[in-house]
Amino acid sequence: MIGFYPSFLVIVLGTLVSAESSLFGIDIDISLPEQLCGSQNIAERKEWGELERAERIDYTNAVLCLQGKPQHLPREEYPGVRNRFDDFVATHINYTLNVHLSGLFLPWHRHFLWLWEKALRDECGYSGYLPYWNWPLWSENLKASPLFDCSDSSLSGDGEHNPDEQNLSGGSITIPRGSGGGCVRCGPFKDMIVHMGPFDRNIVSLTKLPAPGFDYNPHCFNRSLNNFVSSNYDNETIVDRLLAAPNISDFQTVMDYWPARPGGVLGVHGGGHFSLGATLQDLFTSPQDPAFMLHHSMIDRTWSIWQAKDEGHRFALNGTNRILNPPDAPLVTLDMEMEFGVLDRSRSVGEVMDPTGFRYCYSYS
């Protein structure tokens, strides 16, 4: 028995797996019973350094594969989208003002990561799962990490030294510049060209997508490794504080603001972005840095650990569906729908709250 769908419909569709289709102009979502998630079939997402060298190369090869596949978004509407990789960048741009510094940040990015992992596996033959970047392991010396050591099994490394790169101002705190600041010239993503952005970093007054939108603006992939940021905002002490948060509101505060408000600067989330330079620092187009997915995989890992510590946390929500949680924005609920553009149909917040539910069935090492 397959729900209430008659057997002839299943025969017409010719499949006995979950599928989404259209019949006689009517959109149909046929969700067949999922195999229960258990120890025999759960996927394990591993820390980058836990992977064998060949496994790391398999991952970066799959990312390069997506960069070589045609985009799904129409070029006339999205001139900056030049390949399948860029579909994910444009989707992130499109929903940035809803899914950052808001109640949708954690659930939306969880599903975004899963769609990325699924694309690598389904479209590029990747047999592994999404790794994560465990920030504290390498926070004192990013260049020494297997992620950013410029080897062929890394995510590339620092950019060329750029004497014009400036220190960053974070309110009353000055953040020293990183060690690079120029184009990346080593590793799997050597000489990579990114196609969209950059956007203005002042997000306080944003209410709609600003210029340049989806314009085509080819420029080099930039990195500037910054041990000051990583050691101050993504160290073991702050991660422990994140995991010890008594409620979702405190969890979000440590994630987004550190020190805790008022006067918060980067938080754990911003610390990862500002550790790696201009490409990852762009709130809108940050998925153009291949480290983005591993950074957010670590964020999802901390959230899943925090959720699992107390089942009462599993479905805890706080905030609205707009950036900086303005008072007139709708509060996030489990029934609220999240949009993913060309990547997937809309999904409710409630669908994605459990990493062993929906179609996920994954854990972290």
pLDDT score of 35 = 67
pLDDT in tens, 162-216: 999 988 866 667 889 999 999 999 999 999 999 999 998 877 767 889 999 999 9
Backbone angles phi, psi at 223, to 5 degrees: -140, 150
CB-based contact 225:179 (threshold 8 Å): yes
pLDDT score of 105 = 98
Lowest-confidence segment of 21-30, 117-126, 190-199 by average pLDDT: 21-30
Question: Residues near 44 by Cβ (< 8 Å), separated by ≥ 6?
Answer: 129, 362, 363, 364, 365
Which helix (H) or strand (E) segment holds residue 105: the answer is: helix 105-124
Q: Which CATH superfamily is domain 43-203+218-364 in?
A: Di-copper center containing domain from catechol oxidase (1.10.1280.10)
How far, CA to CA in Å, does 41 sit from each of 112, 115, 129, 360? Answer: 22, 19, 13, 11
pLDDT score of 25 = 40
Give pTM, 2 decimals: 0.90
Interstrand relation of 26-30 and 347-348 (parallel, antiparallel or unpaired)? unpaired
Region 144-159: mean pLDDT is 98
The larger pLDDT score, comparing residue 230 to residue 204, is at 230
| Confidence category of residue 243, pLDDT binned at 50, 70, 90 | very high
| Confidence category of residue 10, pLDDT binned at 50, 70, 90 | very low
Reading the block at residue 323, the tokens are 């950036």
- Three-state DSSP class for residue 119: helix
pLDDT in tens, 27-39: 444 444 456 898 8
Distance CA 335, CA 349 (A): 6
pLDDT score of 202 = 79
Taking each helix axis from N to C terminus, what angle separates 292-309 and 248-256, rounded to the nearest 10 degrees? 150
pLDDT score of 179 = 96
For the chain, give the mean pLDDT.
89
Burial (CB count <10 Å: 0-12, 13-18, 19+), residue 192? buried
pLDDT score of 171 = 61
Region 68-95: mean pLDDT is 98
Task: Write down the residue that tokens 């972005």 correspond to.
Answer: 273
Region 103-114: mean pLDDT is 98
135 has a pLDDT exceeding 90: yes
pLDDT score of 92 = 98
pLDDT score of 260 = 72
pLDDT score of 16 = 31
Reading the block at residue 189, the tokens are 């993503």
Q: Which of 66, 220, 225 is nearest to 147 (CA)?
A: 225
Region 280-289: mean pLDDT is 97
